[in-house]
Structure 1
Amino acid sequence: MIFPPSFFTIMVHLTIHLTEEVKLGGPVQFRWMYPIERIFGRFKSYVRNRAQPEGSICEQYIADECLTFCSMYLDDVETRFNRIRRVDDHPVVEHDLGPESEIPHSFPFLGRPVSASRLDTLSPIERQQAHRYILVNSSFLDDYRKVFKSELSRSQLRRRKRGHVIDIDQHVHIHFSQWLKQKVEKNGLGGMSDDMRCLAAGPSSKVLNFSAYNINGFKFRIIERDQDLKTQNSGIFVSAETISYASSRDINPRSGNVSYYGKLTEILELNYYDSFRVVLFKCKWVDTRDARGFKKDQFGHSMVNFSRLIHTGSGEEDEPYVLASQARLVYYVEDPQEKDWSVVVHVQPRDLYDMEDPTSSDEIPPQVVIEDPPIQSSMTISDNVSDIRLVRQIEDLESSQIPSDLYDNMEYV
């Protein structure tokens, strides 16, 4: 193919070097000039005396700093320190259950809807699943859950039937709501509070359905609304404590945190007959227990397959709901090479910074650490690019998490 001389322009020649620039500089958002140009444009607007532009910029900058400092001490005035954030998740209403109620501690009213509501009716199985998840997250009911479990164990002993731990736990998980309701109606439990009576009655089958909700500094949208938009706000990440059994005869099950990834399908406000309200997210969850639904690629990125789902909501024991306060936002990038697989990208809320103060305490609080991809000791670059040596500065070796293979792949300068 013969190209005319007019084809070889600077823009065509630029594409030849894009691959090398990516290898040398990494992601473009860490090296572009937009922030620099933006602050220069702001300084340019400070100029009032064209004969002395530098002095105008200095005086205006000092004035801005003084006003910013003074605004920290102003009340009832909107400043940059108290203005509404871009994602406004301040709750519209608050719980009014009294100071002795434990429900606000377990289900604090957080976030706010940012869409119109629609009145829907839950099916019996959907109502049971949503109510069961509320009871599971009610920590003040754990003692009564143990009472129900001991009653099941004693009844099986009287019938000379030995039940497995997994069967008893599953029965308690599914039928605890019915047992609690019967006990409260018959006053069969001591020390019953108003919170217990409220939860035992169960929620109304009438719920408010939203298409968007702000909470935890994130803006969530359901899949149906996300389909017509360029942005993606329907990815959900939840880290939940899960009990694992080695077999059906395992008498010592283990519990640990398991990561679940899903897509938001419904946003429901559950109403416990005006005693209190709680917002739930209904999602379709990827089966992270199976290698066909979740895996790590060669760079350490999490990958999910939404053709392998779990807790679809069709079964009585399914758990498609989570509390809105437990959800974190992620987005999924489709893998162009592997069909049905997507790469998970975690997102941090706007205006949220990890300002760790090591001088305040010797113990560092636990944090969610998203590990970097493994460092590669070699990089393939064209011949006209000089050799590159990767250097990483390590600070505070005792408190940082260092991959075991880091020293093998690092070359010091």
Structure 2
Amino acid sequence: MYILNNTKEVIPYLSAHKDIVKRNNPRMPQKWVINEHNRTFLKWFKQQVQADRTTSDTLNWLSSEPNFDVICWCGYDINNYTFHTQKEDEKSTTQNSGVMVVVESMHFSSSKDKNPVMASMCYFGVIKDIWVIDYTSFRVPIFKCKWVDGNTGVRTDDLGFTLVDLEKEGYTEEPFIMASQAKQVFYVTDPEDNRWSVVLQGRPMHYADDNNEVVLDISETPSFSSNMPTLNVDNEVDDVHAIRDDHHEGLWENIAT
């Protein structure tokens, strides 16, 4: 269902089916309509596509549902990033399992809320599994993730840094995202409270410095900070740096000053 919801050709069918459910149940709240839509869409979609002989091959294969045999990987290159599962990360000193996705969704204050609000929200997590869903004529890579609860596990500190508590899991019923939607992030333990981790944005693969060396410099890595003060760093030397070369072993150093 997540794949269908995020496939451009299916969007007109999604809208049409929601309208039908709403029209047939005019007294039901919006949240109920969405749940009923999700429950009944697959069968309706399949009937609509099979009855229309002018639909594309993509729609025909999507309506036929994928093979139940799933191809699994421990790593995947996409969006100019190298992603790994958390289990694969545990074998290495590098970190490639951190992931973030920006999702626009409908927010309800309660099950009877008649005026839900559409809003974009950042979700942070780690990749548990990498699956490639096989629709015979094409394949769709997806990430199964452990997500941080956005209500209790994400906060912003005084400098505007985004911090997450990776132990506070949420959204367990919605673990999947399309691999094409994923943005890579790194989690660095907050020195003031090791329960929290600072979120750093990932650097695309093959990024090289002036000497053509593949590097990741924390001081130059976007950190989701909105209030970071301006510093004069012309003559400063970082006391922490990291080197990363794709999946090869990385090195974190504390350099004495």
Identify the structure with the greater strand proportion: 2
Instruction: Name 1:209's counterpart in structure 2.
Output: 72
| Aligned residue among 92, 117, 123 for 1:260 | 123
- Quote the residue 1:103 is aligned against: none
| Residue identity in the other structure for 2:74 | S
Contact between 2:161 and 2:223, CA under 8 Å: does it hold in 1? no
Mapped contact 2:160–2:224 kept (Cα < 8 A): no
1:262-302: CA deviations, max 9, x gaps? Answer: 10111111101x211111111101111x0x21000122111
Cα-to-partner distance string for 1:80-125 (whole Å, 9 max, x where unaligned): xxxxxxxxxxxxxxxxxxxxxxxxxxxxxxxxxxxxxxxxxxxxxx
1:190/1:152 CA distance change after superposition, 3 Å: farther
Q: Over residues 41-99 of structure 1, what are the superposed CA-to-partner deviations in whole Å (9 max), with x where a residue is unaligned?
A: xxxxxxxxxxxxxxxxxxxxxxxxxxxxxxxxxxxxxxxxxxxxxxxxxxxxxxxxxxx
- After TM superposition, give the deviation of residue 371 of structure 1 in Å: 4.2
Q: State the alpha-carbon separation in 2 of the partners of residues 305 and 256 from structure 1.
A: 23
Describe the shift of the 1:196–1:370 C-alpha distance in structure 2 as closer, same or farther (beyond 3 A).
same
Give how far 1:191 is off: 5.0
Q: 2:105 touches 2:118 (CA, 8 Å); kept in 1?
A: yes
Shift of 1:175: 3.0
Report the equivalent of 1:348. Answer: 203
| 1: CA distance, partners of 2:58 / 2:96 | 34
Q: Structure 1: any 5+ residue segments left out of the alignment?
A: 1-131, 313-317, 354-367, 377-389, 393-413
Q: Is the 8 A contact 2:162 2:224 kept in 1?
A: no
Deviation of residue 182 (structure 1)? 3.5
Letter in 2 for 1:374: M
1:322 CA displacement: 1.1
Asked if 1:169 is matched to 2:34, the reply is yes
Conservation of the 8 A alpha-carbon contact between 1:135 and 1:177: no
Question: In the alignment, what sits opposite 2:252?
Answer: none
- Per-residue CA distance 1:217-242 (angstroms, 9 max, x = gap): 21111111111211111100111112
| Structure 2: distance between partners of 1:374 and 1:328 | 22
| CA 224–391 in structure 1, closer or farther in 2 if over 3 Å, else same | closer
Contact 2:5 2:14 in 1 (8 A): no
Work out whether residues 335 and 342 of structure 1, in 8 Å CA contact, stay in contact via their aligned partners in 2. Answer: yes
Which amino acid counterpart does residue 294 of structure 1 have in structure 2? V
Give the whole-Å Cα distance in 2 for the aligned partners of 1:139 and 1:216: 19
Q: Greater relative contact order: 1 or 2 (C-alpha under 8 angstroms, separation 6 or more)?
A: 2
Which of 146, 149, 168 is 1:287 aligned to? 149
1:329 equivalent in structure 2: 184
Decide whether the 8 Å contact of 2:102 with 2:122 is kept in 1. Answer: yes
From 329, 333, 338, give the equivalent of 2:193. 338
1:196 aligns with 2:53: no
- Conserved 8 A contact 2:200-2:223: no
- CA displacement at 1:152 relative to structure 2: 1.7
Corresponding residue number in structure 2 for 1:143: 12
Q: 1:282 to 1:331 in 2, by over 3 A?
A: same
Structure 2 length-normalised TM: 0.76
Whole-Å separation in 1 of the counterparts to 2:223 and 2:109:
28
1:241 paired residue among 104, 111, 116: 104
Shift of 1:143: 2.0
Q: Contact between 2:153 and 2:164, CA under 8 Å: does it hold in 1?
A: yes
Residue 255 (structure 2) aligns with: none
Residue correspondences, number: 220
- In structure 1, give the amino acid aligned to 2:41: F
Question: Hey, what's the Cα distance between the residues in 2 that align with 1:369 and 1:251?
Answer: 37
- Shift, 1:248, TM fit: 3.2
Q: In the alignment, what sits opposite 1:95?
A: none
What secondary structure does 1:206 align onto? coil
Alpha carbons of 1:336 and 1:259: their partners in 2 closer, same or farther (altered >3 Å)?
Answer: same
Moved segments of 4+, more than 6 Å:
none
| Equivalent position to 1:310, from 170, 173, 177 | 170
Gaps of 5+ in 2: 209-221, 234-257
Deviation at 1:370, TM superposition (A): 4.5
Query: Structure 2 vs 1, CA of residues 391 and 333 (structure 1 numbering), >3 Å: closer, same or farther?
Result: closer
Asked if the contact 2:100/2:122 (under 8 Å) is kept, the reply is yes
Give the structure with higher Rg (CA).
Answer: 1
Please give the secondary structure, in 2, of the residue aligned with 1:219: strand
1:374 alignment counterpart: 228
Structure with bigger helix share is 1
Distance in 1, Cα, partners of 2:198 & 2:223: 17
Residues in 1 aligned to 2:131 and 2:42: alpha-carbon distance in whole angstroms = 20
What secondary structure is seen at the aligned counterpart in 2 of 1:149? Answer: helix
Tell me, in whole angstroms, the C-alpha distance in 2 between the residues paired with 1:370 and 1:336: 17
Task: Provide closer, same or farther for how the CA distance between residues 338 and 139 of structure 1 changes in structure 2, counting only shifts above 3 A.
Answer: same
